[in-house]
Structure 1
Amino acid sequence: MNESRTAWLECLIVEEQVEFTLIELCRATGASEAQLASWIDQGVIEPKYPGSTDAPRFDGSSLRRGRTARRLAHDLEINAAGIALALDLLDQIEVLRAQLLGR
């Protein structure tokens, strides 16, 4: 008997110029404000206006990193410092791949 399987792919297309508030980023990533705060402290996500009197805003790259951080925290139970390290290593891998393809 042939068994049919359906796979669902969920994606969100966001332009890099789009900005999110902290609450919007929480909703889009599925992370809590406390999680985002710890990730910001560890440098996982960087607000666009750090240290200013304006409320922090986040761009599309923050959304991408936040979703990856959420998966690492949820699926692998990695803490904020581990997430920061993992994302730094993933960034380095991207740079190296780009260099290899550029040659």
Structure 2
Amino acid sequence: MATSSPNGGSIGAATPPARCHAGDNGSLPDSACTPGATDPRVSQADISSTICRNGYTATVRPPASVTEPIKRDRMAAYGITAPLAQYELDHLVSGGGGGDDE
């Protein structure tokens, strides 16, 4: 189920496979399980008003009420049973680097 994010994208739109597998001896995420695409609204021409603007990431970061269920789902898919608080849901391309929630 997709959930709207503050920047207008949707997070969790793609359904990951039932099991995720880290690559390169565990150091790389499974691309089918990792959110994060480039945000089409960010370009080299407008970085001073987007990713280089102080406070920009606060305008695009989804709230924990959105990310926690996704984190729980992705951890289960990787077979991780440790407490959620020990992990952070990261995106392939961070919001501060011009990433999107897709």
Query: What TM-score, normalized to structure 1?
Result: 0.28
Q: Which has the higher contact order (CA 8 A, sep 6+)?
A: 2
Query: What TM-score, normalized to structure 2?
Result: 0.28
Q: Which one has a larger percent helix, Structure 1 or Structure 2?
A: 1
Pick the structure with greater CA Rg. Answer: 1
